Amino acid sequence: MELSGFAKAQFLSVNMAFGFAVTAGAYVCAGVSGAHLNPAVSLSMFLLQKMSGRLMLVYWLAQFLGCFVGASLVFALYFDALHVYGGGNWTVYGPQATAGIFASYPSEHLSVINGLSDQVIATAALMICILAIIDEDNNAAPRGLQPFIIGLIVLLVGLSMGFNCGYPINPARDLAPRIFTGIAGWGLEVFRAGDNWWWVPVLGPMIGGVIGTFIYEMLVGIHHSVEQKNEEDGEEHHPPEYELVQSMA
Amino acid sequence: MELSGFAKAQFLSVNMAFGFAVTAGAYVCAGVSGAHLNPAVSLSMFLLQKMSGRLMLVYWLAQFLGCFVGASLVFALYFDALHVYGGGNWTVYGPQATAGIFASYPSEHLSVINGLSDQVIATAALMICILAIIDEDNNAAPRGLQPFIIGLIVLLVGLSMGFNCGYPINPARDLAPRIFTGIAGWGLEVFRAGDNWWWVPVLGPMIGGVIGTFIYEMLVGIHHSVEQKNEEDGEEHHPPEYELVQSMA
Amino acid sequence: MELSGFAKAQFLSVNMAFGFAVTAGAYVCAGVSGAHLNPAVSLSMFLLQKMSGRLMLVYWLAQFLGCFVGASLVFALYFDALHVYGGGNWTVYGPQATAGIFASYPSEHLSVINGLSDQVIATAALMICILAIIDEDNNAAPRGLQPFIIGLIVLLVGLSMGFNCGYPINPARDLAPRIFTGIAGWGLEVFRAGDNWWWVPVLGPMIGGVIGTFIYEMLVGIHHSVEQKNEEDGEEHHPPEYELVQSMA
Amino acid sequence: MELSGFAKAQFLSVNMAFGFAVTAGAYVCAGVSGAHLNPAVSLSMFLLQKMSGRLMLVYWLAQFLGCFVGASLVFALYFDALHVYGGGNWTVYGPQATAGIFASYPSEHLSVINGLSDQVIATAALMICILAIIDEDNNAAPRGLQPFIIGLIVLLVGLSMGFNCGYPINPARDLAPRIFTGIAGWGLEVFRAGDNWWWVPVLGPMIGGVIGTFIYEMLVGIHHSVEQKNEEDGEEHHPPEYELVQSMA
């Protein structure tokens, strides 16, 4: 669920709102779906054989629909403000542009290749942290506080890696509101803008999520398997991860 | 208890103060009253059959009186500052206006209908999060940290949905200080301002709280009941919620 | 221990530094002294018969000395900065004033009587929150996180009640650095400034702490005793508080 | 792992990013290496006989390499931004200077001797807090939340002691990115700048870490030993620390 409206605020406030919106969403959904809010995270869990491919597709659809509904709620909540601020126009560019409230657009300095590497690195970092925070064999955060700590990490990613294009790091959170704005009056410019930027925050997080998962399993997860081999000899708690590492090596 | 004085500060600071004031209030009252600080929350708990209608009315009165006392403490704490800042006048409008320190007034761009939808959406979102955070069948926060996490959610609501009218989201917190200012020297203008705005942050949160409760029960609470039916067959831990959902469907 | 240096920063940053400095100090001292950093808190604990009068005086001395050492560390850490910023002068007033880095001085608008009520209200609010956070019969924070939550409350007090005079709320934290600056070159003006302001942040917190303790015991603590009477009949865990309330009523 | 990119942001945001980057790194590494991210901390653990000298050297190498890789990721992530901002030049001085993004440089007002004392005091304060937060005989934070609390302390150090030179407080975090920038195009000026400043944030934290460890053991750790002597008579849980204190006294 995309609850965070985000208009005309300063950098830190917006990042805090984003981070803790993830916290809020995770608390709400944790018991039912395991707090899958991000298609890139769901893809990782599928690769780690923690969910089936079919369930992943269902989650992807739900994530996309949730973000679409969230965007329409933001639209409803700030309808008057958007109307006044934009002078009645819905524009992607210029001083009264409001499309950036819903989806990401690259800074002027950013090339597409650097934008893609930005999204890959940021999502990989996020994924490594999430996997660590929920890893009971590592120093996992207490279960009832994992949404808070993960929200904090999203805040961190925003503060440290949000200068290029506002850290979408989530294909559903970026594409669904973009489509909403395309329908709601901003037009097809939302896809053409930034040298057809729209696909970067969709593909980048997917690649980054997979890379982050791979790095975590190689650098940290593999220790768990080895330790278990040494200490318990043959009784492995995490065969799926271990096999993944094997098959990916 | 409304401990937070809130003058001449920047957006983030004020929101943090508000959020953690809720944290403070919740720690103080949790053991005695279950931390009911908001009439909209009490109304939800009544609808979920977790408190009687009579107790709810007692709580409403206490919440109202507490906010009235809180407003008078803020008045005492910042008496000199208010006096100097307002040039000896207590005004609702203009550059020396100080009434907005005590109660909410809509931004210029905001229509009453958008203001009402703002309050309904914001309080519904708050209510969904609160119900999730305290839901032991979901991923509840540790009991001793629930006031902190709920304060964080209030901060989030303020950061993301506070641009229209400062997110009252609490009828007592808005109406009681408004009446205080009406008595203390600002006059009846506090009710007439903003196209008779005063009733919006009273009614909106009540509607939003009910809607949020309904959404949470439909989307999340219902899973608990179904799971319990499937797994434990007939032994239901939360009959009140389940019945509510039934009777509201 | 007063670890926080505090120069030329914005309002929120300084308040966060103050709040979490309390967190840091509390983690360091919790095991040895029960994290008594504030003479007003020690006075409350004495009134609640949780510590002897003699131990309280020892703590007062230690708190005072700790703050004096802290002030000298800040002086050492920022010696060059203070020298350059003040142009070689140590002044209490004017655009190059640096005395306010060490101790509190009232805003221009603040009268002594409003300053005193500010300190009484702020310290009473702080005390009520601290007593709630550590009250196992209420909804206490987890023991290992109490320093964090108390630091958050200090942050809250600063954000909401710091506009008048910078919320000293701690006699040792204000008086000891003030004496240090008096010796280190700022001279006796540190005591004369603000209409002999120096005694307000010494006496105010003491009065506020006692009032806060009394309010908490009357509004919350008394419920514990009554509940225990009703439920366990005669077996009371907190006779000291109960007797205090009796003797003060 | 040095995940935090840090460009053109405001003071508080950067400090929050730094602090929670430590949180992120600690969550990732806690299970494998005990979250050693700082050579000064590893040195302390060696002095407390909690790790061998050989393992310390291995950790130092890993910390250095990790920071080097981190610097190169920041370089990749913000390559376009650095290029545009610096006008194609990589400069250490002047309005387009970008070297300060990677390593610390002293403020103009700062002498080398004050810079060294800054680093010693800041790292000593950090070390005292870290030792308290993980000290089970004191009021340790819950294990799964220690990375969060330690990140908060790093934030505190930054907010309160970051005005002189940006609180490197970690030899690997400062030297490795400095060498990276020396190679990547900024040249040897990165070592000559600030009166050959580079060695200060390498040696200072090492000295400060040792001093902080010594202070903590003298002021707090010694109480544990004495208490254990008195209460359990002869059965000491922490002989290494006690002996260290003995041998250092």
Checking if the pLDDT of B246 tops 50, the result is: no
Find which of B1, B8, B13, B37 to mutate to test the C interface (most C CBs within 10 Å of its CB): B13
DSSP, residue by residue, chain D: -------S--HHHHHHHHHHHHHHHHHHHHHHH-S---HHHHHHHHHTTSS-HHHHHHHHHHHHHHHHHHHHHHHHHTHHHHHHHTTT---SSSTT--GGGTS----TT--HHHHHHHHHHHHHHHHHHHHHHT-TTTTPPPGGGHHHHHHHHHHHHHHHH-TTT-----HHHHHHHHHHHIIIII-THHHHHHHHGGGHHHHHHHHHHHHHHHHHIIIIIHHHHHHHHHHHSS--S-HHHHHHHHHH-
What proportion of chain B, given as a percentage, has pLDDT over 70? 72
Q: Are A154 and A22 in contact (CB under 8 A)?
A: yes
Checking if the pLDDT of D89 tops 80, the result is: no
CA distance D187 to A215: 32
Task: Give the distance from residue D94's alpha carbon to the nearest chain C alpha carbon, in angstroms.
Answer: 21
Q: What is the mean pLDDT of residues C36-48?
A: 86
Most confident of the following: A30-39, D76-85, D86-95:
D76-85
Task: Give the distance from residue B133's alpha carbon to the nearest chain A alpha carbon, in angstroms.
Answer: 6
A149 touching D (Cβ < 8 Å): yes
Find which of B11, B20, B75 to mutate to test the C interface (most C CBs within 10 Å of its CB): B20
Find the range with the poorest average confidence among A214-228, C106-120, D133-147, D212-226: A214-228
D141 touching A (Cβ < 8 Å): no
Q: Are A164 and A117 in contact (CB under 8 A)?
A: no
CA distance A151 to A95: 31
CA-based nearest residue to D129, from D178, D84, D169, D165: D169
CA distance A68 to A77: 14
Checking if the pLDDT of A11 tops 60, the result is: no
B81 touching C (Cβ < 8 Å): yes
Asked if A31's CB is within 8 angstroms of B223's CB, the reply is yes
Find the range with the poorest average confidence among A13-17, C104-108, C196-200, D91-95: A13-17
A155 touching D (Cβ < 8 Å): yes
Q: Which residue has the higher pLDDT, B44 or D239?
A: B44
What proportion of chain A, given as a percentage, has pLDDT over 90? 7
- The one-character DSSP state at A141 is P
D155 touching C (Cβ < 8 Å): yes
Say if the ipTM goes beyond 0.95.
Answer: no
Helices (H) and strands (E) in chain B, counts: 11, 0
Q: Are A153 and A129 in contact (CB under 8 A)?
A: yes
Distance separating the N- and C-terminal Cα atoms of chain C: 36
Q: Are D165 and D174 in contact (CB under 8 A)?
A: no
DSSP, residue by residue, C129-158: HHHHHT-TTTTPPPGGGHHHHHHHHHHHHH
Of D84, D85, D148, nearest to A149 by CB-CB distance is D148
pLDDT at residue A248, rounded to an integer: 34
What pLDDT band is residue C239 in, cutting at 50, 70 and 90?
very low
CA distance A77 to A171: 23
pLDDT tens column, D154-193: 888 877 777 777 778 888 888 888 998 888 888 888 898 8
Q: Which residue has the higher pLDDT, A4 or B198?
A: B198
Question: CB within 8 A of B84, min separation 6: which ones?
Answer: C108, C109
A178 touching D (Cβ < 8 Å): no
pLDDT at residue C200, rounded to an integer: 92
Q: What is the mean pLDDT of residues C201-219?
A: 90
pLDDT tens column, A164-198: 777 788 888 888 889 988 888 888 888 988 888 99
pLDDT at residue B26, rounded to an integer: 67
Find which of C2, C3, C83 to mutate to test the D interface (most D CBs within 10 Å of its CB): C3
Of A13, A85, A144, nearest to B159 by CB-CB distance is A13
Of D118, D135, D224, nearest to C77 by CB-CB distance is D118
D143 touching A (Cβ < 8 Å): yes
Checking if the pLDDT of B223 tops 80, the result is: no
Return the half-sphere exposure (C-beta side, CA atoms, 13 A cut-off) of residue D159.
25
What proportion of chain C, given as a percentage, has pLDDT over 90? 7
What pLDDT band is residue A21 in, cutting at 50, 70 and 90?
low
Of A110, A137, A155, nearest to D80 by CB-CB distance is A110
- Which residues of chain D are within 8 Å of residue C10 when distances are taken between CB atoms? 11-12
Checking if the pLDDT of A28 tops 50, the result is: yes
- The one-character DSSP state at C249 is -
Tokens of C185: 């070159």
Tokens of C165: 């005079």
Asked if A32's CB is within 8 angstroms of B223's CB, the reply is yes
pLDDT at residue D247, rounded to an integer: 34
Q: Which amino acid type is present at position D193?
A: A
- Which residues of chain B are within 8 Å of residue C223 when distances are taken between CB atoms? 31-32
User: What's the whole-model pTM score?
Assistant: 0.82
Asked if A122's CB is within 8 angstroms of D77's CB, the reply is yes
What pLDDT band is residue B247 in, cutting at 50, 70 and 90?
very low
Task: Give the distance from residue C121's alpha carbon to the nearest chain B alpha carbon, in angstroms.
Answer: 7
pLDDT tens column, A199-243: 999 999 999 999 999 888 887 777 666 555 554 444 434 433 333
C241 touching B (Cβ < 8 Å): no
CA distance C129 to C115: 21
CA-based nearest residue to D16, from A70, A55, A160: A160
Q: What angle do CA D87, D93, D94 make, to 5 degrees?
A: 65
Asked if C84's CB is within 8 angstroms of D109's CB, the reply is yes
Q: What is the mean pLDDT of residues A6-10?
A: 39
What pLDDT band is residue B160 in, cutting at 50, 70 and 90?
confident
Average pLDDT, chain B: 75
C132 touching D (Cβ < 8 Å): no
What pLDDT band is residue A16 in, cutting at 50, 70 and 90?
low
CA-based nearest residue to C60, from C68, D130, A188: C68
CA distance D106 to D187: 18
Q: Are B121 and B161 in contact (CB under 8 A)?
A: yes
pLDDT tens column, A55-87: 888 888 888 888 888 888 888 888 888 777 777
Of A114, A141, A160, nearest to D4 by CB-CB distance is A160
Checking if the pLDDT of A29 tops 80, the result is: no
pLDDT at residue C61, rounded to an integer: 86
Q: What is the mean pLDDT of residues C172-181?
A: 88
A121 touching D (Cβ < 8 Å): yes
Find which of D8, D10, D77, D143 to mutate to test the A interface (most A CBs within 10 Å of its CB): D77
Residue B244 C-alpha from the chain's centroid: 23
SS (H, E, C) B124-145: HHHHHHHHHHCCCCCCCCCHHH
D140 touching C (Cβ < 8 Å): yes
pLDDT at residue C7, rounded to an integer: 34
Checking if the pLDDT of D6 tops 60, the result is: no
Distance separating the N- and C-terminal Cα atoms of chain A: 36
Asked if C164's CB is within 8 angstroms of B78's CB, the reply is yes
